Amino acid sequence: MKELIVATKNPGKVSEFRQMFSKYDISVKSLLDIDRSIDIEETGSTFEENAVIKAEAMAEHFEVPVVADDSGLEVDALNGEPGVYSARYAGIEKDDGKNTEKLLKQLYGVPEEKRTARFVCAVAVARPGENTFVRRGTCEGTIATEPQGTNGFGYDPVFIPEGSSRTMADHSSEEKNAISHRHHAIKQIEEWLKTQS
Ligand SMILES: O=P(O)(O)OP(=O)(O)OP(=O)(O)OC[C@H]1O[C@@H](n2cnc3c(O)ncnc32)[C@H](O)[C@@H]1O
Ligand SMILES: [Mg+2]
């Protein structure tokens, strides 16, 4: 089994990458396993830019291929916010509970048909001496009026994927990994993943 570094410190992402990469016979090593003190500043203005920044910084550092994920939630009634600021929407300390609370406050009184949103995920692959590539996946849905469910992470308790009546946090990890923005982004790097296993 081949091992790949995924340049993230988000434990929720790590477990989803683990599950989804196991299908390609690839095991995942994250920054939580390697060095929790590594901090890469996300200075880009798009998910793609930030994913490339994270992947290239770590590929240069470790001199091996590195995968990175930059993701977030775009809410139409908030002109695409929180977008690339999703992790720090309610402050720099990255508190999922506070972020969702702030989101629900911003959307207070907005009717259901105007609560449309999407999860976006950009996955970048950086390799020493080769061109970096980045692919995007999305998952359309709406924002609930109150949190529901305990699975997943981030905004999952308030995001209802299109075609479902339950929040993402009320989906099993297998169900989420079949429809998520991360799944769709990873699908697009599948050909490269197959050459890695
Ligand atoms: O940068 P790394 O270390 O990968 O971890 P992070 O949590 O800071 O990740 P991002 O910078 O990509 O910010 C993404 C935020 O968007 C939200 N998010 C992304 N994917 C999500 C998902 O699958 N379910 C729920 N929320 C998600 C969640 O709040 C994340 O913290
Ligand atoms: Mg981040």
pTM of the predicted structure, to 2 decimals? 0.98
Residue 87 CB–ligand 1 contact under 6 Å: yes
31, 155, 156: residue to mutate for ligand 1 pocket, most atoms within 8 A of CB: 155
Residue 33 appears among annotated catalytic residues: no
Fold of 2-196: Maf protein (3.90.950)
Please give the sequence-ordered ranges of beta strands (E in DSSP) within 40-187, or none if there are none.
Answer: 66-75, 116-127, 130-143, 159-161
**What atom of ligand 1 comes closest to residue 68's alpha carbon?**
4
Q: Could you report the per-residue pLDDT of 138-179, keeping only the tens digit for each?
A: 999 999 999 999 999 999 999 999 999 999 999 999 999 999
Bond prior to 82 in cis (omega within 30° of 0): yes
Q: pLDDT tens-digit profile of 29-49?
A: 999 999 999 999 999 999 999
For ligand 2, the distance from its centroid to the CA atom of residue 85, given in whole angstroms, is: 9
Q: Tell me the mean pLDDT in the region 184-189.
A: 98
Domain segments of the chain: what residues?
Answer: 2-196
Return d(Cα 124, Cα 136) in angstroms, integer: 9
